[in-house]
Structure 1
Amino acid sequence: MKNHIIFFSGGKSSFTVAHLVKERYPNDNIVLYFTDTLWEDEDLYRFIYEASDKLQLPMLYHCVGLTPPQLMAKERFLYNSRVGNCSKKLKMEPAAKYFKKGIKPAIEKWHNKQFLKALIDPLSNGFEENTSVYFGIGWDEMHREGAIKKNWAPFDVQMPLIDEVIDNEEILKLYSIRRPRLYDMGFVHNNCKGRCVKAGQGHYKNLLMKDEKTFQEVKEQEIIISEYIRYTKQPHIKAGKSKDYLFEDVYAFLSTGIKSDKIKNILANADYLSSERRLFGNDSKGKPINKPYSYIKTMTLNELEKKPIQCDIWDIGGCGCFVDYESEVVNY
């Protein structure tokens, strides 16, 4: 009996792949595998659990226990459209550690484990040779194929939607499953509640128009993380000679939304800090950092909100999960 592991992102394509694998290998061991960033849309969870129920397939849930903003604060690095370390640390790395080395992340749960036909044991002899891993990559994302196969060698890597053009909506209808709501809101993927750090200007403009509450939350997080990074760039803090007096306030805000007086002050002066750069922000050479850090190219979310008409609506972007796991992180 072979193992078929489907990297189940919560998107329509990964659901179609799960359907195809079940149709073709009904007697084999099939597992939906979901890695949680804890930053997903509420409806994504409805979708993945409903999918597991209706496909009658077991789902393995893994989670590191951190959100992307929490991870950015810990690393003192603002992920962006060029470097999205969150997908690497929260999705790719725990998956690779588990399936290649048998190392479990902080949180593991099973859903519908009664449908499991054989135990998953990555440390057993022959596991890699007896296991195929599947990704919902379509023909329009063929540029991701090579990197994914390289990262997941020696596993047999399958991407059936590259060769087969299938209407995902029709597959959802077969099981009477409502598609994730982010697609109805005009997003091209179902990642991170429409606030993927690798998204572009057009993507974030759509978030502003369709879910202003979430936009305001992620805008404030961008401001706080950016200013925190500038603060920690000061040589005496970077060298550990002075205490970091901001981390606890920043981490509490990113974790709970609670705004201390320090956080409120930074948010109230966001425009001033962006233009004058007088409070924080000297680099190791004593020179001021001339502009705030931002998720998208050329502008912050604060600037996009003020001048949305001037953004590039065709700059959509998006996360390329499982593509650059082996690559080095580029720091500021």
Structure 2
Amino acid sequence: MKNRIVKFSGGKSSFAVAAWVKENYPNDNIVLYFNDTLWEDEDLYRFNKEVSDKLKLPLLVQSRGITPPQLMVQQRYLANNRAGICSTELKIKVAMRFLKKGIIPEVEYWYNKDFLKQSIHGIRDEEFFENTTLYFGIGWEEMHRPKKIAVNWKPFKVQFPLIKKINDRNIYLEKYSIEEPRLYKMNFAHNNCKGRCVKAGKGHFQNLLMQDGKTFFELLEQELVLSEYARYVRQPAIKKGISKDYLRDDVMEFVTNGKKSDKIQNIIDGHKYLKNANFGVNSKGENINKPFSFMKDMTLEEFEQTAMQLSMWDVMDVGGCGCSVDYGLCSIDS
């Protein structure tokens, strides 16, 4: 009996792969493996459980126990569309440490574990690597990714059924009577992070603004606060530990439960001042007068003011995170 582990994201692509694997290898030990950022849309969890129920496959969920914003506070860094640290730290490294070294993260639980045919825990050895194939929901439109994935996941065998084996990923939704995740109905290209993906482009954020304004403006405030915090902790005295970080607890509480202390409220109220302030010079000797932002070229607050004026060509940069797959060589221990 072979192990077949589907890197499950909670989206239609990885579901189609899971259904294909189950239909082609019904007697093998198949596991749906999901790394939870704890920042997902509520309907994603409904979808994951329904897929597990209908396919009769066990679902293993693992997590660091923190959200992307909490990670940004811990690392004193604002993730952006050029550096998706949340994908690297909360998904890629968690999965690699577990599958390659057997290291269980802070949070782990099973759903429908009774469907598991043999354990995938224990010490990883050559037999486990040789007997296990990993499956990713990468299609022909993402042909730049398979080679990187194959290198990063050695010595495992990796497969991408969507490229040559599956013509229409939607047919499996109808076949198994499963309702697609609601983010697709809201015109999002994927079902990650409730539409808040920090690696997204203008088209994606324009869609978030139109489809779910509440979430957009919550994210906007988080960007303002996290941006100022990332700058605040760059002070030499704080970096060297000479001066105390007086903002951390307030920022962490804000991104965790939305509570706005006086310090946080002052940052939000004063963001127009912060945006126009001079924060030193960059590597080219140019003045830095823009807060750090998810999109690099503009803040969400600036984008909200101009979104409806943008043409279709301006917003074609939809973007989105290739969670668990879009990376260069990744070190497990770094």
User: Into which bin does the TM-score normalised by the smaller protein fall?
Assistant: over 0.9
* Amino acid paired to 2:316: W
Cα contact 2:282–2:288 (8 A) shared by 1? no
C-alpha distance in structure 1 between counterparts of 2:121 and 2:33, whole Å: 14
Q: Is 1:116 matched up with 2:116?
A: yes
Change (3 A) 1:186 1:230: same
> Aligned residue for 1:238?
239
C-alpha distance in structure 2 between counterparts of 1:212 and 1:117, whole Å: 44
Q: Is 1:292 matched up with 2:291?
A: yes
Task: List per-residue Cα deviations over 1:173-199 (Å, max 9, x = no partner).
Answer: 011100000000010001100010000
Q: Is 1:203 matched up with 2:197?
A: no
> Aligned residue for 1:164?
165
How far did residue 164 of structure 1 move? 2.8
C-alpha distance in structure 1 between counterparts of 2:27 and 2:330, whole Å: 37
How far did residue 237 of structure 1 move? 1.8
> Aligned residue for 1:264?
265
* Amino acid paired to 2:15: F
How far did residue 234 of structure 1 move? 1.7
Task: List per-residue Cα deviations over 1:14-52 (Å, max 9, x = no partner).
Answer: 111111111111111000000000000000001001100
Q: Secondary structure, in 3 states, of the residue corresponding to 1:186?
A: coil
Q: Is 1:24 matched up with 2:24?
A: yes
Cα contact 1:7–1:135 (8 A) shared by 2? yes
In the TM superposition, 1:1-332 aligns within 5 A as 1-125=1-125, 126-277=127-278, 281=279, 289-311=288-310, 312-321=314-323, 322-324=325-327, 326-327=329-330
How far did residue 283 of structure 1 move? 7.6
C-alpha distance in structure 1 between counterparts of 2:66 and 2:74, whole Å: 10
TM-score (norm 2): 0.93
Change (3 A) 1:246 1:213: same
Q: Secondary structure, in 3 states, of the residue corresponding to 2:44?
A: helix
Q: Secondary structure, in 3 states, of the residue corresponding to 1:183?
A: helix
How far did residue 309 of structure 1 move? 3.0
Which runs of no fewer than 5 residues in structure 2 stay unpaired?
Answer: none
% of aligned pairs identical? Answer: 57
C-alpha distance in structure 2 between counterparts of 1:29 and 1:165, whole Å: 21
C-alpha distance in structure 1 between counterparts of 2:94 and 2:183, whole Å: 26
Task: List per-residue Cα deviations over 1:57-112 (Å, max 9, x = no partner).
Answer: 00101011010001011111111111101001000001000000000001110110
How far did residue 124 of structure 1 move? 4.9
Cα contact 1:151–1:323 (8 A) shared by 2? no
Q: Secondary structure, in 3 states, of the residue corresponding to 2:143?
A: helix
* Amino acid paired to 1:152: W
* Amino acid paired to 1:324: Y
TM-score (norm 1): 0.94
Cα contact 2:152–2:330 (8 A) shared by 1? no
Indicate the RMSD between aligned Cα atoms, in angstroms.
1.8
C-alpha distance in structure 2 between counterparts of 1:300 and 1:45, whole Å: 30
* Amino acid paired to 1:151: N
* Amino acid paired to 2:68: P
Which runs of no fewer than 5 residues in structure 1 stay unpaired?
Answer: none
* Amino acid paired to 1:80: N
* Amino acid paired to 1:294: S
Task: List per-residue Cα deviations over 1:191-250 (Å, max 9, x = no partner).
Answer: 100010000011001100000010011110000000011111222222221111101100
Cα contact 2:32–2:58 (8 A) shared by 1? yes
Change (3 A) 1:200 1:3: same
Cα contact 1:100–1:122 (8 A) shared by 2? no
Cα contact 1:36–1:63 (8 A) shared by 2? yes
Cα contact 1:233–1:284 (8 A) shared by 2? no
Cα contact 2:99–2:124 (8 A) shared by 1? no
Cα contact 1:69–1:254 (8 A) shared by 2? yes
Q: Secondary structure, in 3 states, of the residue corresponding to 1:127?
A: helix
How far did residue 122 of structure 1 move? 5.0
